[in-house]
Amino acid sequence: MSRKIVIIGANAAGVHAANAARKTDSKAQIILIDKEPYPAYSRCGIPYVLAGEIPSFNDLTAFPPSHYRVMKFDLHLEAKARSINPNDRIVLVENKEGNIEALKYDSLILTQGADPFIIPIRGHDLPGVFAMRTMDDGKAIQEAMKTAERAIVIGAGFIGLETAHALAVNKIKTTIVEVVPYILPALFDEDMADYTQKKIEEHGVDVVVGKRVEAILGKDKVEGVNVAGEEINADIVVMAAGIRPRTELIRGLGVELGVTRAIRVNPRMETNVSGIFAAGDCVESQSSITGLPCLYQLGTNAVRQGTTAGINAAGGYAANPRVICSAVSKIFDFELGAVGLSEFQAAKVGFKTLSASITGKTRAHYFPGGKEVKVKIVAEPILGRVMGAQIVGGEDVAQRINMLSVAIQKEMTALELSTADTSYAPPVAETVEPVATAAEIVAKKIRRR
Amino acid sequence: MSRKIVIIGANAAGVHAANAARKTDSKAQIILIDKEPYPAYSRCGIPYVLAGEIPSFNDLTAFPPSHYRVMKFDLHLEAKARSINPNDRIVLVENKEGNIEALKYDSLILTQGADPFIIPIRGHDLPGVFAMRTMDDGKAIQEAMKTAERAIVIGAGFIGLETAHALAVNKIKTTIVEVVPYILPALFDEDMADYTQKKIEEHGVDVVVGKRVEAILGKDKVEGVNVAGEEINADIVVMAAGIRPRTELIRGLGVELGVTRAIRVNPRMETNVSGIFAAGDCVESQSSITGLPCLYQLGTNAVRQGTTAGINAAGGYAANPRVICSAVSKIFDFELGAVGLSEFQAAKVGFKTLSASITGKTRAHYFPGGKEVKVKIVAEPILGRVMGAQIVGGEDVAQRINMLSVAIQKEMTALELSTADTSYAPPVAETVEPVATAAEIVAKKIRRR
């Protein structure tokens, strides 16, 4: 009898799990369940549709309908997993007509993702307050943008900044409010955050840091927000205050959560309950730098984890390495990225650090069109190993982050990185790569200790 | 008494040697000698001035005149080192007036670079035949381009391709002739070379491979070339057939050359003759991949070697690691780069290899403006270590080369690289980095052996 694999959540992790399961077991019955009305799409693209840089939400569709047919996936949209019985290996699913179906499984993969955190302040449920997570969130914001003149974005992580970018390029006066004293607190240290904030402000976006949104104002719809006592008018409020792993479905089942409140899995993406795997935004990762649990809720990780979960759920063998956490984004005319630990994050788990940052160019100084790039490198001070980096620049940030990710993966020291045999040509690089220069300064600080 | 440092050759290696010497010894007397009439400039930029992408040759000047004053360098232009007496530590220099001066030195740094190889065929000295090495070469070609309608470039290395690019964007019908059966023979394997050749041909440049230029035709000036019996008309012929380390000055002095006919140096850039250092295009490097001598005649290496030579010549201590050899260029609307060994190069020194290449995109598939990027990864088949890579793409090639350079530096295996924790955002990368995918295919081939 063919293996039955049920996957709850049909986005990046879920569909890649299904793809990998199919490649592993061509005869398995693979059922995908998702509560949204859309087959898998790229959440990361939503702010860029709003910005007008991607023509349409339809472009975000990850796979054509034919993919699901060819792969023989049984796709249930607008369907909600209601409960799981891990002893009998049954999931109860409510379909869009409201009927409940009992699905037997041999392997269950939890890829239900995460929910945007809606700060429970007064007015959080007023019309005009949006999350930025789903296609429907995006469509609702797009509709509201047609008449809006002012917007507030709560939270200055990547999603918040990308949303502010989308609003601002549509000529909506936008204010970002971040409760932490600097933007991008989960990725950047204060110095790099301040540098980035100035760049954002140059594009007409107001940024308020270190202040809390106390309430959302308005009677029948959003009219503004109260930020630490001060009122700011707004027609749109977007909550971009982080996401929370979706775990209500497994409450009481004995599936262990980690200290991050996400699902604990081993490197094969198995939970502690036999037959149940998990992947994507709902699971906890392990940092290869600290050895500690962490959240790494990005599409890249979801795809890698989903693929591994799918292979194992279908009877194959795969295991994921621990994570380094690399992230990149682009807003306005610059890119920003981070990898590994910031100094703040390192200090939080007890590591001492040394760091250096320098500003270079992306082309030879005399080659027209070169952009500024600022690189910060963080290293631990005894062995000198690179622990992290933060980069902001007009171009070529993503691949610099990747270079540093490889350096961290291979436990490279700042001194070794300073001697990296980097490439150069006037239209595409400086003679001396800024990453190498930053590493050299860090290495000198380590030597002088 | 202050230390006397004489540096023969005032370009990338020479001036960086001088800079480093000054930082090491603030009181040293530092004399720079160069036979050209220009202070240090970027040779790499010359083709891009011809292409009109850099406004003027003046933009290529590396340092303002004030730099030489502030650093207290004694700069002699249009001056030729005539001979060296290593026992008495004296260099005889002929200045532009034809007077000979004897300069005492404590440390001598040879940074005289390399000469373009002029193939000694009939007609090689006709007006209209150019090398592509110096600022004056560039200016002469620029002048000739004003009336030229057809051009031949002999040699399909980076310099040859960049020259063809410059000619073609100036609407001069251009043919590249390469004697080896594929272009970029020193950097690319045939598969990647063929892919690149097609891209070049799409821009209207003719490419002839596997054929020799037998003669340059014309009576008083260039009228064409004879390529394996076939005549092609041309008003301009550019010889881009490689460069040869300039070593005539040290002939008979006992300064050892290596198997590559370049000057042998140790990691501190010392030659075998006491007090004489060397750096840049005239020296031999050591490959960290093969352990064998190699030529690595690029600006990046010249700067690194010059800096090390300068520190040591001034009484400090510095040592260079062996080289990986990374190179990148940009022509037309694409970039091309290589690092480490090609399969051909590896085979030449007795290594077996496995490789894989894949074509990906530089942005999410749905993000407008994404460019194609083709990545080839070469690995040795036993331990699976990455030995080299070749990349061609519409953008973001240089930093991918750097990522692979770091991977090779740290002896990463293809399998490790396939699990690299790379970054992703729709405007700047695909979810799965093509470098990781190519590495994954190589890793699978290694496992299947």
3-state secondary structure of A124: coil
Handedness of CA B201, B205, B206, B208 (dihedral sign): negative
- Edge-first strand order for the sheet with A334-340 is A326-331, A334-340, A386-393, A372-379, A354-361
Put simply, the answer to whether B364 touches A45 (Cβ < 8 Å) is yes
Residues of A in contact with B421 (CB under 8 A): 300, 321, 323-326, 339, 405, 409
Q: Beta-strand (E) ranges in B228-345?
A: 230-233, 236-239, 243-245, 276-278, 285-286, 293-294, 326-331, 334-340
Distance set, CA A386 to CA A340, A415, B411 (Å): 9, 9, 17
Q: How confident is the model at residue A401 (pLDDT cuts 50, 70, 90)?
A: very high
Asked if B118-241 and B326-448 have one fold, the answer is: yes
Q: Which residue of B has its CA nearest to A59?
A: B366
**Contact call for B326 and A427, based on CB within 8 A:** no
Select the residue from A58, A399, A404, A432 to test the B interface by mutation, using most B Cβ atoms within 10 A: A399
B44 is catalytic: yes
- B173-200: b (≥16 Cβ within 10 Å) or e: bbbbbbbbebbbbbbbbbebbebbbebb
Q: Is the pLDDT of residue A338 over 90?
A: yes
Q: Is B54 close to A424, i.e. CB distance below 8 A?
A: no
B44, B282, B294, B325: the catalytic one is B44
CA B60, distance to chain mean position in Å, is 16
Confidence of residue A449 (pLDDT cuts 50, 70, 90): confident
Angle A398-409/A434-448 helices, nearest 10 degrees? 40
User: Taking the domain A4-115+244-313, which CATH number applies?
Assistant: 3.50.50.60
Q: What is the largest CA-CA distance in chain B?
A: 70
Q: Determine the Cα–Cα distance for residues A202 and A196; give it in Å rounded to an integer.
A: 10
Q: What is the CA radius of gyration of chain A?
A: 23
Which chain A residues contact residue B320 at CB under 8 A? 419
Contact B368 A329 (CB under 8 A): no
Hey, how many other C-beta atoms are within 10 angstroms of the C-beta on B119? 15
Could B424 and A324 be called an inter-chain contact, meaning their C-beta atoms sit closer than 8 Å? no
Rounded to the nearest angstrom, the minimum Cα separation between A16 and chain B is 12
Per DSSP (E only), the strands in A198-281 are 206-209, 213-217, 224-227, 230-233, 236-239, 243-245, 276-278
DSSP A394-444: SS--HHHHHHHHHHHHTT-BHHHHHT------TTT--SS-HHHHHHHHHHH
What distance in Å separates the CA atoms of residue B346 and residue B325, rounded to the nearest whole number?
A: 13
Q: Which residues of B touch A337 (CB under 8 A)?
A: 423
* Chain A partners within 8 Å of B405 (Cβ): 420-423
DSSP for A42-81 reads -GGGHHHHHTTSSS-GGGGBSS-HHHHHHTTEEEE-S-EE
Q: Quick one: DSSP state of residue B12?
A: H
CA distance to B25, B62, B413, per residue, from A317 (Å): 61, 56, 20
Pick among 3.40.50.300, 3.30.70.20, 3.20.20.330, 3.50.50.60: CATH of B118-241: 3.50.50.60
Cα–Cα distances (Å) from B120 to A354, B185, B214, B216, in that order, read 57, 21, 10, 10
Q: Exposure of A77 by Cβ count < 10 A (0-12 exposed, 13-18 middle, 19+ buried)?
A: middle
CB contact (8 A) between residue A423 and residue B366: no
The domain spans of chain B are: 4-44+54-113+244-313, 118-241, 326-448
Between A and B, how many residue pairs show a Cβ–Cβ distance under 8 A?
216
Q: Residue B322 carries which DSSP code?
A: P
Contact B425 A324 (CB under 8 A): no
Interchain proximity B427–A42, CB inside 8 Å: no
Residue A1 pLDDT exceeds 90: no
- Return the residue in A366, A375, A405 with the most chain B beta carbons within 10 A, the one to mutate for interface testing: A366
pLDDT confidence band for A378 (50 / 70 / 90)? very high
* Torsion sign across C-alpha atoms B293, B295, B296, B299: positive
Helix H or strand E encompassing B91: strand B90-94
Buried (b) or exposed (e) across A394-422, using 16+ Cβ within 10 A? Answer: bbbbbbbbbbbbbbbbbebbbbbbbbbbb
Task: Count CB neighbours of A64 within 10 A.
Answer: 10
Residues of B in contact with A55 (CB under 8 A): 368
pLDDT of residue B363: 97
Name the residue in chain A with its Cα closest to that of B426.
A45
The mean pLDDT of A6-13, rounded to a whole number, is 97
Nearest Cα of chain A lies from the Cα of B369 at a distance, in angstroms, of: 10
Name which of B401, B423, B431, B444 to mutate to probe chain A: the one with the most chain A Cβ atoms within 10 A of its Cβ. Answer: B423
Q: If DSSP codes are grouped into helix, strand and coil, which group holds residue A29?
A: strand
Is residue A127 pLDDT above 90, yes or no?
yes
Q: What is the ipTM of this complex?
A: 0.96
Asked if B346 contacts B175 with a C-beta cutoff of 8 angstroms, the reply is no
Contact at CB, B44 and A425, closer than 8 angstroms: yes
CA of A405, closest CA in chain B: separation in Å?
6
Query: For A366, which of B42, B300, B428 is closest by C-beta distance?
Result: B42
Q: Which residue of chain A comes nearest to B413, CA vs CA?
A: A410
CATH topology for A326-448 is FAD/NAD(P)-binding domain (3.50.50)
Query: Does residue A56 register a pLDDT over 90?
Result: yes
Domain range B4-44+54-113+244-313, CATH class: alpha beta
| Partner-chain contact B409 A416, CB within 8 Å | yes
Q: Which of A298, A330, A417 sits opposite B428 (nearest CB)?
A: A330
Nearest-angstrom CA–CA distance, B190 and B211? 15
Minimum-distance CB partner of B405 among A299, A411, A421: A421
- Considering CB atoms only, which of A60, A410, A420 is closest to B405? A420
Whether B11 and B280 have beta carbons less than 8 Å apart is answered as yes
Mutate to test the interface with B, among A301, A392, A402 (most CBs of B within 10 A): A402
pLDDT tens per residue across all 449 residues of chain B: 899 999 999 999 999 999 999 999 999 999 999 999 999 999 999 999 999 999 999 999 999 999 999 999 999 999 999 999 999 999 999 999 999 999 999 999 999 999 999 999 999 999 999 999 999 999 999 999 999 999 999 999 999 999 999 999 999 999 999 999 999 999 999 999 999 999 999 999 999 999 999 999 999 999 999 999 999 999 999 999 999 999 999 999 999 999 999 999 999 999 999 999 999 999 999 999 999 999 999 999 999 999 999 999 999 999 999 999 999 999 999 999 999 999 999 999 999 999 999 999 999 999 999 999 999 999 999 999 999 999 999 999 999 999 999 999 999 999 999 999 999 999 999 999 999 999 999 999 999 88
CA distance to partner chain B, nearest, from residue A109 (Å): 21
**pLDDT tens-place string over residues A91-123:** 999 999 999 999 999 999 999 999 999 999 999
Task: Please list every residue in chain B whose beta carbon sits closer than 8 Å to the beta carbon of residue A393.
Answer: none
Q: Round the CA-based radius of gyration of chain B to a whole number and report it.
A: 23
Active-site choice (A44, A282, A294, A325):
A44
Nearest Cα of chain A lies from the Cα of B161 at a distance, in angstroms, of 13
Q: Pull the structure tokens for residue B125.
A: 């000295």
Q: What is the pLDDT of residue B295?
A: 97
Strand partners, B150: B173
Question: Which chain A residues are closer than 8 Å to B431 by Cβ?
Answer: 12, 299-300, 303
Encode pLDDT of A184-241 as tens digits: 999 999 999 999 999 999 999 999 999 999 999 999 999 999 999 999 999 999 999 9
